[in-house]
Amino acid sequence: MESNMIDEVISGVCDPSARKPHRAALILARGGSKGIPLKNIKNLAGVPLIAWVLRAALDSEVFESVWVSTDHDEIERVARVWGAKVHRRSPEVSKDSSSSLETIQEFIRVRPEVDIVCHIQATSPCLHPHHIREALQMITEQGCDYVFSVVRRHQFRWEEVDKKDDKNPTSPNLDVARRPRRQDWPGELYENGSFYFSTRKAWENGLKQLKKMAYYEMLPEYSVDIDVDIDWPVAEQRVLRFGYFGREEKAAVRLFLCKVSGCLTNGQIFTSVSGEDHVAINARDVAGIQMLQRDNIEVILMTSVNELLSRALLEKVAQLAGCGLRFGEQLDGLEVQWLMKEKKLRWDEVAFMGSESEDREILSQVGLNGVPSDAPVADLIAAKYMCQRPAGNGAVREFAEYILMLKKKSLMPVHQENIDRANF
């Protein structure tokens, strides 16, 4: 029965009475990375590396399930927070010598419902949902049983020679006497390691009996693969321009709500000899708030009636920051909803920065959320942006810059034809 289903998937013809093929995305994320420790969950441009591909896989809306295969507790936690299911791989496929194929085969052995697997590499943060959808069509509509991603490179290759042999090196793709111009040479295709689609049967056979295979060509700007630490700064700049930011990428933020304690301040209260309370506010955070206001984004500081700081001190903080102040009974989603109704705003037009577990409700509903690096709530939610800086030390400024970057990105879409691919 299972074999017949796979054959129907490959041929593109399904029996109407048969069940829909189960398509699963699988990201392999072993904890023992040698190049960069726990690379898969290290923050890249404010988001865990693995979250970039998880977001693309989930938003592609073509998978019945999205999985992370790991042997590490912290990777499992991050994967679940970002909406993935977790397959705890066995020690046998968690060794340095374990291959991706062995790990995928173990996964499908315990998941008999899966018919098609897309192995997505966590180290490819510029993957977009449309790449996944288009490649899957090559399996479901064109009859391929194996599809892999490639990128076109204009690079001349040379054979390595032993210096002791005193031989001239030779090139398999270049005639030195007739070196072509870039525009006169189509280049060559290289695997970019972004993803590998295949049917269950092909994976089970160790990819040895492939009937029809094809490549899916991705543009160079999307072909980012992080192997070593030196790649990180380059990848960060590339992902800010070409990465997939999820549905918030199109959001037009008009209101920024920010908790005072745990975001604008670090929670410390200084008491003088005379009994007066004092708090410290970072000048960079104040500048960040002013940047948003200059860009016509309203800023309101939020606090609850249970706040330890006095009302007079909170009002002084708001005055110093040059923005509004809102007191709430519980600071829950209902109170924010009333505020939005008052200002005629939708959830996707609101950004919120919180830090504590009681902020989860609002964080989960707004169009864009952010948390300081030391926020307790960071372990509980999939924050759209995780600041590198802690509360009271530039986190608000950092998140403000991120909001403005997304706004600029939404107003100035990338024109692919204007990209100088010679630099990729």
Which residues belong to the active site?
179
221, amino acid identity: E
Phi, psi of 11 (to 5 degrees): -80, -15
**Cβ neighbours of 33 (radius 10 Å):** 17
DSSP 250: G
Scan for tokens 């510029």, then name that residue. 126
Give the C-alpha separation, 411 to 141, whole Å.
35
Q: How far apart are the first and last CA of the chain?
A: 47
Give the C-alpha separation, 406 to 258, whole Å.
18
Closest CA to 131 of 67, 188, 40, 192: 192
270 has which bridge partners?
Answer: 278
User: Which residues of 145-275 form beta strands (DSSP E)?
Assistant: 146-153, 188-199, 213-218, 255-259, 270-271
Q: Is 106 helix (H, G, I), strand (E, B) or coil?
A: helix
Give the C-alpha separation, 22 to 42, whole Å.
31
153 has which bridge partners?
Answer: 188
Give the C-alpha separation, 305 to 138, whole Å.
57
Helix, strand, coil % (nearest 5) of the chain?
40, 20, 40
The answer for residues whose C-beta is within 8 angstroms of residue 203's C-beta and 6 or more apart is 101, 104, 105, 108, 117
User: Which residues of 71-168 form beta strands (DSSP E)?
Assistant: 85-88, 116-120, 146-153
